[in-house]
Structure 1
Amino acid sequence: MQQAWPFPFLIAHRGGGKQAPENTLAGMMEAIKQGYRAVEYDVKLSADNLCFLLHDDTVDRTTNGNGLAATQSWAALSQLDAGSWLTEAFANEPLPSFATIASYCHHAGLASNVEIKPCPGREEETGKAVALAAQQLWSNQTTKPLLSSFAYESLVAAKAAVPALPCAWLIEAPWPEDWEVKLKAIDAVSLNTDEALLTEARVKAVKDAGYKLLAYTVNDVERAKTLQAWGVDGIFTDELTLMQKAFS
């Protein structure tokens, strides 16, 4: 990694955790309000290939719309209400473009873990598009974003498109015994894993191999303290206030 590691131990999951609508500008603002210096969020492609923030393959859960995100244009997606599902206080909060969130993070001094979240069948094109967008959006920034994904194909495409951007492989159960081979193949700087998979021995192995280690989604203070004691570099959390109080 050509830059210093930019992430503190606490990273706000999907922007505002449980305290603001996920993957929205309001979420990023909540992270700042809570004293966070780093956020994680999901980026995918609209039907007309614009990078925007959304976790699911459909818009049903977190907006007032319905259907597959991959079939909808940015013009249509940008009109959806992505806040009312959490509380009416966030009514009419829009789905944000990647560019909007990048600009806010620059202004607010937030480090970004950008999760590449491709719709099924769009792994390679999404990885490439997000990497190229990130390269442009952070062109004048010293600290670059960390690109992560469960979709290994997306990371391969992202690294091929923009080799200089740091990346992390996201994993879930079962623990992959070939994790080091996979990380080396994409010149990754970090392994991002489900916290439930971590043992002290696994943490030691990853750290001894020279990689950073981030854990999701950690909402229990004692578990967070245990992971920190083992050497985990950072955790993604939904409990912004609780964790900030525990670690401040």
Structure 2
Amino acid sequence: MPHPEIALPRLIAHRGLSARAPENTLTAVRAAHEAGCRWVELDVQLLGDGTPVIWHDRDVKRCSNGRGRLATLSLAGAKRLDAGGWFASAFAGEPMATLEEMLALLVERGMGVNLELKVNRGHDPTTLAEVVVPTVLAALPPEQRLLSSFDAQALARSRALAGPEQLALGVLFKRIPDDWAERCRAVAAYSVHADWRYLRETRARSMKAAGVAMLCYTVNDIEVFERLGRWGIDGVFSDDPGRLVDQGA
């Protein structure tokens, strides 16, 4: 199965450099770039008015000064929120980023992105894919984009919108199920993304032998990082990739 020629780094900044800046913000991606990261992982979902934004949670309570669900917000309302002050006073006034704004920054910095299609309860996975996929295809070259999701419908619709030579897809699992190969084949997946805490060496090696790229989340410990490397894992998502590099030096 042909896929884009993606040169995945071993370390990908999780939600931007989220150990040092508010997650999923433009500032967190700038910080990742300044720290030498070539790729970032980010989450995308839709506001109530259909605008795609870079955000992880179903609501805005944890990462802003507001309350309420994303599904009830308009872009104007979202832009009134402070999405940085919760992290540290130095980031007060940081706005919620739209997908369009984030893609422009990634293009400017020449960075790659693993964009997770985040399907929280009450959100439509098909609509999310139909909004996000064409926007990403228009903004980034194939070798700098990877879309992933836990949601089978979001992945299926994404694949219907773009073939495997145009768009790499990653299937997200917490615990890798026995039918992982069938689920990957169903969407011509490029990669599997798994929670390292539930991954075993035998499963990791069998997946690598099958030719699927393997990524693990969220790795912030040097011993875990090195162990996964010995198992043949292609890359990991980390809140602070530089720390793993420094510790491993």
TM-score range, shorter chain: over 0.9
Superposed CA deviations along residues 147-182 of structure 1, whole A, max 9, x for unmatched, are 001112111111112233110011013x31000000
The answer as to whether partners of 1:34 and 1:244 remain within 8 angstroms in 2 is no
Q: What are the within-5 Å matches in structure 2 for residues 38-57 of structure 1?
A: 38-57=39-58
More displaced stretch, 127-136 vs 198-207: 127-136
Find the counterpart in structure 2 of residue 129 from structure 1: 131
The answer as to whether partners of 2:148 and 2:169 remain within 8 angstroms in 1 is yes
Q: TM-score, normalised by structure 2?
A: 0.94
Amino acid at match of 1:133: T
Distance 1:22 1:188 in 2: 27
Q: What are the within-5 Å matches in structure 2 for residues 1-248 of structure 1?
A: 1-121=2-122, 122-138=124-140, 141=141, 143-163=143-163, 164-173=166-175, 175-247=176-248
Superposed CA deviations along residues 79-129 of structure 1, whole A, max 9, x for unmatched, are 211000000000000000111111111111211000001232312211222
More displaced stretch, 41-50 vs 123-132: 123-132
The answer as to whether partners of 2:41 and 2:116 remain within 8 angstroms in 1 is yes
Secondary structure of 2:143's counterpart equals coil
The answer as to whether partners of 1:44 and 1:52 remain within 8 angstroms in 2 is yes
The answer as to whether partners of 1:171 and 1:194 remain within 8 angstroms in 2 is yes
Percent same amino acid among aligned pairs?
A: 35
Distance 1:39 1:53 in 2: 12
Q: How many residues align structurally?
A: 245
Distance 2:7 2:82 in 1: 32
Cα root mean square deviation, aligned: 1.4
Amino acid at match of 2:206: A
Distance 2:77 2:161 in 1: 28
The answer as to whether partners of 1:9 and 1:234 remain within 8 angstroms in 2 is yes
Secondary structure of 1:19's counterpart equals coil
Amino acid at match of 2:75: W
Distance 2:48 2:181 in 1: 35
